[in-house]
């Protein structure tokens, strides 16, 4: 983040193209506000008379709002809304619709994300072209991973609560899911 000593909030926002770090600096005597996304300064106000309010910004096409509210004296509460939802609600929802694998592949780490609601596949922040195929026990979504054949297999768990089980297979090896 920045070099200022007024960092008051830090969030990690999971999106299909990666987990983005959002930092917010707030000088409670000067009103100074600095907003960082992935280490890049997005908003900078040096002097503001209004110490409370909101800062609106985007991460890609995702709308975000940091709300600054007083909680007594010269203390403030900072909250993040993502696409109109509280940070907590948004991250809970993302954990339901995104399936993520993070693993070493040819000397570097690769992040593969399946958007379960659209069946889009993202690798290191880039949406890939895929080919879907019905198989005896479910479906397979095939794609190329750095010249290697890969696919995500979707099979029924047989349990309504558990739902569909997604597995990533790269070069005939099953890759363990990551918890982001």
pLDDT tens for 11-55 read 999 998 889 999 999 987 777 899 999 999 999 988 777 788 899
Q: What angle do CA 130, 126, 107 make, to 5 degrees?
A: 100
Alpha carbon distances (Å) from 38 to 72, 88, 168: 31, 20, 28
Residue 60 — left, alpha, or beta (φ > 0 → left; ψ -120 to 50 → alpha)? left
Contacts of 144 (CB under 8 A, 6+ apart): 128, 150
Low-confidence ranges of the chain (pLDDT < 50): 3
pLDDT at 161: 82
- The whole-number pLDDT of residue 113 equals 95
Encoding tokens for residue 1?
Answer: 């983040």
Per-residue confidence (pLDDT) for residue 180, from 0 to 100: 62
Predicted local distance difference test score (pLDDT) of residue 178:
83
């Amino acid at each position: 983040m920045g070099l200022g000593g007024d960092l008051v909030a830090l969030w990690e926002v999971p999106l299909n193209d990666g987990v983005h770090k959002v930092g917010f600096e707030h000088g409670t005597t000067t009103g100074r506000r600095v907003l960082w996304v992935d280490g890049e300064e997005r908003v900078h106000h040096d002097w503001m008379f209004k110490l409370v309010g909101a800062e609106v910004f985007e991460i890609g096409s995702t709308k975000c709002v940091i709300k600054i509210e007083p909680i007594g004296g010269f203390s403030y509460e900072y909250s993040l809304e993502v696409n109109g939802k509280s940070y907590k609600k948004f991250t809970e929802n993302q954990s339901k619709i995104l399936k993520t694998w993070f693993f070493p592949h040819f000397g570097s780490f690769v992040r593969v994300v399946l958007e379960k609601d659209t069946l889009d596949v993202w690798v290191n922040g880039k949406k890939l072209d895929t080919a879907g195929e019905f198989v005896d026990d479910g479906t397979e979504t095939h794609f190329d991973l750095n010249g290697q054949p890969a696919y995500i297999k979707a099979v029924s768990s047989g349990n309504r609560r558990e739902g569909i089980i997604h597995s990533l297979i790269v070069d005939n090896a099953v890759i363990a899911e990551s918890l982001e």
